[in-house]
Structure 1
Amino acid sequence: MTYLDLAVIALAVVVVLHVACVVVARRRGTLPPRFALAVAVTVVVLCVLTVVFDSLMVMSDLFRFDEDRLTGVILWRAPLEDLAWPLAAGLLLPALRVALAPRPSHPASPASTDRQLQEHA
């Protein structure tokens, strides 16, 4: 099994879970506005950091990749397959957070708020 095979399997599972969590959050009313934008920015930042720090670790000879199991696409010194893990984390963790968040409490109606203010006056 190559690194790409492993990454594709993991990402397929993550995408299914991400979609399921977003559907649950939307139904529960816990999906924040601009959720997709926040996830996209998170994934981009995580991928950039992964490329930078993986490249530094490879240059420092902290670890090596089996060249026969890579696609050959290298970003600085990091293999493309290594971006699967920040992508998976950036998709799954925020989706789990919104799916498992407590339901928002319903705001009080204006009439009941007026009554509460009059009672405390």
Structure 2
Amino acid sequence: MTYALLSLVFLAVAVVVLAVALILAPDRARLVRRWWAPTLLAALVVLVLTAVFDNLMIVAGFMTYADAHITGAKLVLVPLEDFSYPLAALVLLPALWLLTRRRGTRA
């Protein structure tokens, strides 16, 4: 199994959970209006941190990637597939919050 395929599985699960959470949310339109800017800011911060620290960990020898399992597209030393895990977390965590919050509270 390649890292790209594994990444797609993580992203697909996160998107499905988010879709279910939004379908079940009674205040969906307000949530989307309110969350898009903080989510984009969080995505930017997490992706920059991923790029910096993954490159440092690869240089230090903490992580290696088999060439047969990556697409070959890289940002410096980090395979692009490595960025899918933080993206999946950025999608999944708000979705889980939506699914587990008490219905009578404000978002």
What TM-score does the superposition give when structure 1 sets the normalisation length?
0.76
Moved runs in structure 1, 4+ residues, more than 4 A? none
Structure 2 unpaired stretches of 5+: none
Query: Residue 68 of structure 1: CA displacement?
Result: 1.3
Residue aligning to 2:75: 75
Larger radius of gyration: 1
Task: Determine if the alignment matches structure 1 residue 9 to structure 2 residue 9.
Answer: yes
Residue aligning to 2:43: 43
Assess, with a 3 A threshold, how the Cα gap between structure 1 residues 40 and 19 changes in structure 2: closer, same or farther: farther
Q: Any idea what SS the aligned residue of 1:34 has?
A: helix
Q: 1 or 2 for the larger relative contact order (CA 8 Å, sep ≥6)?
A: 2
Structure 1 unpaired stretches of 5+: 107-121
Assess, with a 3 A threshold, how the Cα gap between structure 1 residues 20 and 36 changes in structure 2: closer, same or farther: farther
Residue aligning to 1:111: none
Percent identical: 36
Say if 1:43 and 1:91, in contact at 8 Å, map to a contact too: no
Matches within 5 A, 1:13-92: 13-25=13-25, 27=26, 29=27, 32=31, 33-92=33-92
Query: Residue 64 of structure 1: CA displacement?
Result: 0.5
Matched residues, number: 104
Once residues 44 and 69 of structure 1 are traced to their aligned partners in structure 2, the CA distance between those partners, rounded to angstroms, is: 26
Query: Residue 104 of structure 1: CA displacement?
Result: 3.3
